Structure formats: C-alpha cells, structure tokens
Amino acid sequence: MQLSKSVVEQSISALSPNDVPFGIVPIAGQIERPPGADEAWDFKNNPHYHLPGAAAAIVILYPYQLVRAQRQPGQGRVASIGYHADYHRVVEAYLKQLAEQLTSRIGPFDYKIFVDKHGLYDVKMAVLAGLGHIGKLSMLLNRQYGTAHNIGYILTTLQSPAPEQLVEDSCVSCNRCERACPNGALKSRKVDVTRCRAALNQKKGVLSEADIANMGEWFYGCDICQYACPHNRHGEVADGNVDLTEIMQLTKSTFRQYHQKKSYGYLGLARLKRNAMVILYKQRGLSALAQYAEVIARSPLLSEQYEILKQLAAKS
C-alpha cells in the first residue's frame, strides 16, 4: 500500500495541534544493515528489528514553548520541557491519533510508534525526513521551531514516496551555543556528558564532586545552549522552577500525584531528591540538610550522596 504526503497532511489537519511539521523516510536505501552487525546494533538502528516489513517512517516534530523562569532562593531550575506533562505520553498519544486518522483514509496497516525510546535514533530519522539538521548544540535544528520540539515517528509497512530533501547546515560560523555553555560541554556537534548539566542531573547513582561543581543549580535539564541559539525564541515566566524543600518532603504518594507525570518524573523519587539536596547544599550549605536526616537515612542513594557532600563541606 502506498503512502502519500497529501494523506498525511489531511490526517494532521484533522488533529490539534495541526501545524506539526512532518516528513516521510523510506527505509530501503536509507538505513541498511552493515555486515557483521549484532543484535545491539539492530536494536539501535534497524527498523526491521522492531517492525518486520518496515518500509517507511512518518516523522513529526511536536513543538513546545521555550521559556525562562527567574529562580528564587530555595528553588532548582527546570528546563522548559519539564514544565509540561511527560512529552513521551503527549507525543505518543498524538501519534496514535494520527495513525487512526491515516487508517480511516487508507485502511488498516501495521505500525509501531516511537518517542525517544526503543533504541532507534530519533534525531537521525528526523534528519532523513528533511525536518532539520544537527546543530552545533547537538540537537535537531528546525527552521520553524529551532530546537524547541520533541521528535516522534510512526514506523509503518506502507510504501513511501521519494526521499525528502536534506536540510543544509544553518549554523555555519555561528557558535553562540558553544560559547554559552558554562562548562564547555559542546564541541564538534557532540555533547560531553561529563560536563553537560542536563546529562548530570539525569545521571544515575551518586554525583561526584566534579559532577556537583558542573551541575550548577539545574534540577532537571538545562536550556542555556537553547537560549543562545538565534533560531530559538523564548519567553519569560514568573514561575516554573521547583521548590527544593517540597521535593525533599515528597512521599511516594505525593510524587505520583504531582510529579510523576511531568517530563522529569521518569527519574524517580530518589534521583529527584538527590538533585534537590545537592542544590540545597550549594545554596545554603550542609546545615540546610539537617532537617532531612531521616529522609536521607532511609535512602541508600541519598545517604551515599550526603557523605560526598560532607567531604565537600570539610574541604571548604
């Protein structure tokens, strides 16, 4: 069965939002399995591993608003994507509706939905879909939405039209994002995850002394490089950061009720409390954590992290 751009346009126009950019990637000739590839390669790169008979992918960019909130004492900074409901769920729900719209127009077909999971590299798929190029901040840079978007796609068994035209590099000599990064984590369109604040506050386990120094006061993610990109626009908001005391006092029940459905909810309660206690320490010193002694003692992760903070405090 043949897939056309017009039927995808019609299907998207029936949804909300209906100004979502899309492109279609033909699988044959675009993503080929090299000789000697193993299952690990297949999981990350091979569409046929995830959907036998895969022939085309419909790739979308789901935009979000890039904003900057003024941080107050006792708060941790949150990247714009963290203000909203978990984008995995939002974009997946949108793609399910899109698949239903397509089915109503062309009939049933086999498909599988991908939103930043299942191994396949979504940025590569978006590049092949003609939706942008990889910018110097290592994210997909789209002319309309900059980097303020999430990528999702429907892998299908439908036959695709001709490949999309690839987007030319628009960064050229601009290096504002590289210069803006306080830790120098951006180089050659790659991210040094040992320096990137977003990578550090999402890291598993305890944070080392170097991690703590590089993390700044970002509770989840980091938008500094995105603020610097001339293709992006951002607004100012009065609130949006998190109250660190509230995070330290969360129970499993209140976490599920108020935070689990946020984009940062996947980190889990222990990691969020780890981030909160590290930032509280950086803002107010070790004494700020005394009131949370019982909370810290109940968690192996927090207990181990507290010992590292004690060592830091002893050196200062």
Decide: helix, strand or coil at residue 69: strand
pLDDT exceeds cutoff 80 at 29: no
Per-domain residue ranges for the chain? 5-156
Taking 80 as the threshold, does the pLDDT of residue 202 lie above it?
yes
Strand-strand pairing, 234-237 and 66-69: parallel
Cis omega before residue 21 (within 30°)?
Answer: no
Query: Which residue(s) pair with 77 in the sheet?
Result: 218
Checking if the pLDDT of 150 tops 90, the result is yes
Nearest CA to 218 out of 257, 182, 270 is that of 182
Q: 69 or 212: which carries more pLDDT confidence?
A: 212
d(CA 269, CA 262): 12
45-96 tens-digit pLDDT: 889 899 999 999 999 999 999 988 887 889 999 999 998 889 999 999 999 9
Residue with the two structure tokens 């089915």 = 103
Mean pLDDT within 143-158: 96
What the block records as the tokens of 222 is 């980091």
The candidate with the shortest Cα–Cα distance to 115, out of 84, 78, 154, is 154
Report whether pLDDT(115) > 70.
yes
- Which bin fits 111, alpha (ψ -120 to 50), beta or left (φ > 0)? beta
d(CA 190, CA 205) in angstroms, rounded, equals: 23
Per-residue model confidence (pLDDT) at position 116: 86
At 238, the pLDDT band (50, 70, 90 cuts) reads low
Which one is predicted more confidently, 17 or 202? 202
For range 152-161, the mean pLDDT:
94
Once rounded to an integer, what is the mean pLDDT over residues 285-305? 97
> Which of 71-80, 141-150, 294-303 is predicted with the least confidence, judged by mean pLDDT?
71-80
Query: Which range has the top average pLDDT, 238-242, 245-249, 255-259?
Result: 245-249
Query: What's residue 121's pLDDT?
Result: 85
Whether residue 30 is predicted with pLDDT greater than 80 in this model: the reply is no
- Residue 178, pLDDT score: 98
**Nearest Cα to Cα of residue 246 among 261, 257, 235:** 257
Distance between CA 8 and CA 305 in Å, rounded?
A: 50
Predicted confidence at residue 275, as pLDDT, reads 98
Strand partners, 295: none
Mean pLDDT of the chain: 94
Instruction: Tell me what percent of the residues of the chain surpass a pLDDT of 90.
Output: 82
